[in-house]
């Protein structure tokens, strides 16, 4: 049943809306996502922990929810903001409605709200702390207070919050056959994937290109990993500020010294840069969408990419042994780096897409080649 709801900003602004999903209230950093498809993948991306997602696409819920498109086991966002919510989906793959999925995950959403106005506010003022709530659970006054009291993502280590509790082996490839009929042989020296909030399509593509992947907790020490004689180290995407993740930065520094191939995506990209003694910064409103043009500095090729990040690497702080490989054509922010003295590289966007274009998935092939070369030594 729909309920009266509000979106309260830290500056005191209030938007009234119709609530659906779980009747509750929550706080988080409000961001906007410009993707036109893939809302299921987006809301199950762990990188959205402690964020409220505003969808700029006007219709959300049309295709329902299915059992195959989740990027993690649950919804990690604090709330969802949409213009029009489709209560009755029409899709042959759908097994439940978006609202049923939200209720199951205890997540609040609101609709009948001007998402274009919200997006304009965020572009002008930057990402803002907000409270999204049912009026039956929180008053307008208290919602504004809650928004103001939220500390924001700067300085917040969320990678260890969303990381896996226990290590596991991933052996599933990409759709449609997922290696079910032709399973890969078990690799006694697996690639290690540090889970800072990893998306499942990243794991599928890693499996497709490098074979078996062992996924470990974000805080797993270097000493435990090196005993496994890994062929490569993957640093995953994830939520929050990279700078407080000192445990990860210390580990990466040691892997760099060992000359083990390293590939980082999103938060993993930022952590690799920090391990190389560069700096990161909080962006005004970040990049969230599936239509972001990125240029390869060397070839001048342009790729349309998926993006989801609120922090970035400061190119002015890169040491001489790290070169820039990609830049955003939206704002010239840094999108890719590569070390010149060790086999390590990273990309700020999401080459695995899910949702979005798959033009730059060749980065997984690059990592595969590095792993194979290292395995020969």
List residues with catalytic annotation.
Answer: 266, 350, 352
Neighbours of 176 (CB within 10 A): 6
Q: In sequence order, what are the residues at sequence separation of 6 or more whose Cβ sits closer than 8 angstroms to the Cβ of residue 138?
A: 25, 131, 146
How far apart, in whole angstroms, are the C-alpha atoms of residue 216 and residue 213? 10
**Which SS3 state, helix, strand or coil, does residue 195 take?**
strand
Pairing of strands 191-195, 128-134: unpaired
How far apart, in whole angstroms, are the C-alpha atoms of residue 152 and residue 89? 35
Q: In sequence order, what are the residues at sequence separation of 6 or more whose Cβ sits closer than 8 angstroms to the Cβ of residue 317?
A: 277, 278, 279
Q: Give CA 39 to chain center in angstroms.
A: 13
Instruction: Examine residue 355 and say whether the peptide bond preceding it is cis (omega within 30 degrees of 0).
Output: yes
Instruction: Examine residue 176 and say whether the peptide bond preceding it is cis (omega within 30 degrees of 0).
Output: yes
**Which SS3 state, helix, strand or coil, does residue 14 take?**
strand
Report H helices in the chain.
39-43, 98-105, 115-125, 140-149, 159-162, 200-210, 222-226, 246-257, 267-275, 362-375
Question: φ and ψ at 60, to 5 degrees?
Answer: -125, 135
Handedness of CA 39, 209, 358, 173 (dihedral sign): negative
144: its two tokens: 């504004």
Q: In sequence order, what are the residues at sequence separation of 6 or more whose Cβ sits closer than 8 angstroms to the Cβ of residue 132?
A: 5, 6, 7, 8, 25, 26, 27, 28, 52, 78, 79, 81, 108, 110
Distances (CA, A) of 143 to 107, 308, 341, 348: 17, 27, 51, 34
């Amino acid at each position: 049943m729909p309920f009266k709801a509000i979106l309260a900003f830290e500056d005191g602004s209030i938007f009234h809306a119709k609530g659906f999903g779980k009747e509750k209230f929550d706080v988080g950093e409000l961001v906007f996502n410009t993707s036109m498809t893939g809302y299921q993948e987006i809301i199950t991306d762990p990188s959205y922990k402690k964020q409220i997602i505003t969808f700029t696409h006007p219709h959300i819920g049309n295709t329902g929810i299915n059992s195959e498109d989740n990027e993690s086991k649950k919804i990690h966002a604090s709330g969802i903001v949409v213009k029009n919510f489709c209560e009755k989906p029409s899709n042959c793959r759908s097994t439940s409605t978006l609202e049923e999925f939200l209720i199951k995950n205890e997540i609040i959403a609101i609709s009948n709200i001007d998402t274009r106005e919200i997006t304009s506010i965020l572009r002008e003022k930057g990402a803002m702390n907000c409270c999204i709530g049912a009026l039956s659970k929180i008053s307008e006054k208290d919602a504004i207070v809650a928004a103001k009291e939220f500390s924001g993502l700067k300085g917040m280590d969320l990678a260890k919050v969303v990381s896996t509790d226990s290590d596991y082996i991933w052996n599933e490839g990409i759709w449609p056959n997922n290696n079910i009929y032709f399973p890969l042989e078990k690799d006694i020296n697996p690639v290690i994937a540090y889970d800072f909030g990893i998306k499942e399509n990243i794991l599928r593509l890693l499996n497709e290109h490098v074979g078996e992947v062992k996924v470990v907790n974000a805080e797993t020490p270097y000493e435990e990993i090196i005993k496994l004689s890994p062929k490569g180290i993957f640093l995953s995407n994830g939520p929050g500020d990279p700078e407080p993740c000192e445990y990860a930065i210390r580990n990466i520094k040691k892997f760099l010294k060992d000359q083990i191939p390293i590939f980082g995506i999103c938060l993993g990209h930022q952590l690799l840069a920090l391990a190389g003694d560069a700096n990161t910064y909080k962006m005004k409103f970040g990049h969230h969408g599936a239509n972001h043009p990125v240029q390869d500095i060397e070839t001048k090729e342009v790729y349309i990419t998926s993006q989801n990040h609120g922090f970035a690497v400061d190119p002015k702080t890169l040491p001489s042994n790290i070169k820039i490989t990609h830049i955003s054509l939206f704002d010239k922010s840094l999108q890719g780096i590569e070390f010149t003295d060790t086999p390590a590289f990273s990309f700020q966007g999401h080459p695995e897409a899910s949702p979005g274009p798959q033009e730059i998935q060749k980065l997984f092939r690059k990592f595969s080649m590095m792993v194979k070369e290292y395995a020969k030594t």
